[in-house]
Amino acid sequence: MGIARRELLRWGAGFGAAALGGLALPGTARADGPTTPRGLPTESWMSRLSGDLSLLDLTVPGTHDSCCENPAYGTEWSHTQNWGIPRQLTEGVRFLDIRCNGLQGAPDELGIYHSDNYQHIRLQDVLDQCRSFLRSQPGETVLMRLRNERAGGQALDDAEFLRRVGHYLDGLGYRGLFHFHGWPTLATARGKVVLLADFANPWGLIDWSSGENAHFDTQDVWQTGGLDPLGAKGRSIAAQFDKAFLNPTYPKMFVNFLSYAGGYWPRTSSQALMDRTVYPYLSARTEQRARYGVVPMDFPDLHVNVLQMLIDKNVT
């Protein structure tokens, strides 16, 4: 079993307001919802940070296959989350992994999929949820990987996927929701969805890479061989955390997926990796500010301790 949240809160109880280096907290500020061990309200933690920070300077907790809440829409293989998008955002998640195919019967729309399994939610539903959250919390931003999943009978080629994205931006009026070009400061990104384009485009967007390109340095080992594949995945996670910490001015966004498939149900691999690698790594470094970049995970509801430790990496 993972470390209980109450144990994490016990070790975090010693951090007071003096520990919140780099924050601009009003003297009377108080959160009505969940807060991290260092006192950051999870629904508005970014608003407490300096707007001069680049997004590249942050640790951004996220979710992998963010809309895959129901194993009935696939199997337990495709079940990666228990919280829906609104709850994820309220609890402090700021990166969403949104994967789309065409939507049957709707020639201009995109549905959210895990491979060829439709998750019974449309792209406009996700965008509306993000817009609603950002209107309520204008000091926040959301980073969104938008991927052409290219799977099953609703797979789209590059040109058709691009056309449908254009329909969302202009036909359905979502263009104003997004930041498109280059890594912004937090002040510029506030109130916006930062679009990370995992689809072919000629628009000069922030283009996603599951390896390394001009914008990203990503660890996404989702299957591997050997006698202890979860051990190998854990070493990849730790190595990416180390690389990010040791390169604080690196001009790319680090991404470190905590998720793993490779023959395991996501819930099983997530629990093992959290217990064996992620929690021990982070808990040994609780007083250390770090820009770990984007850190997507499965089932943050089962690992609130890790989610909140990642948020707290943004303060000293």
For 100-125, how does the pLDDT look when each residue is reduced to its tens digit (9 = 90+)?
Answer: 999 999 999 999 999 999 999 999 99
Question: Strand pairing of 178-179 and 193-198?
Answer: parallel
pLDDT(14) > 70? no
pLDDT band of residue 11 (cuts 50, 70, 90) is: very low
Dihedral sign (CA 299, 301, 305, 308): positive
User: Is the Cβ–Cβ distance between 192 and 180 less than 8 Å?
Assistant: no
pLDDT at position 111, please? 98
Helical residues (DSSP H) of the chain, grouped into ranges:
5-12, 85-90, 123-136, 158-166, 186-189, 229-246, 266-273, 279-283, 304-312
The rounded Cα 94 to chain-centroid distance in angstroms is: 5
Q: Distance (Å, rounded) from C-alpha 285 to C-alpha 248? A: 16
pLDDT at position 24, please? 41
> How many residues are there in the chain?
316
Fold classification of 5-312 (topology level): TIM Barrel (3.20.20)
Q: Where are the domains of the chain?
A: 5-312
pLDDT(77) > 50? yes
Query: Could you tell me the two tokens for 250?
Result: 């690196």
Percent of the chain whose predicted confidence (pLDDT) is above 90: 88
Is pTM beyond 0.85? Reply is: yes
pLDDT(28) > 70? no
Mean pLDDT, rounded, of the chain: 91
What b/e sequence results for 189-202 when a residue is b if at least 16 CB atoms lie within 10 Å of its CB, and e otherwise?
bbbbbbbbbbbebe
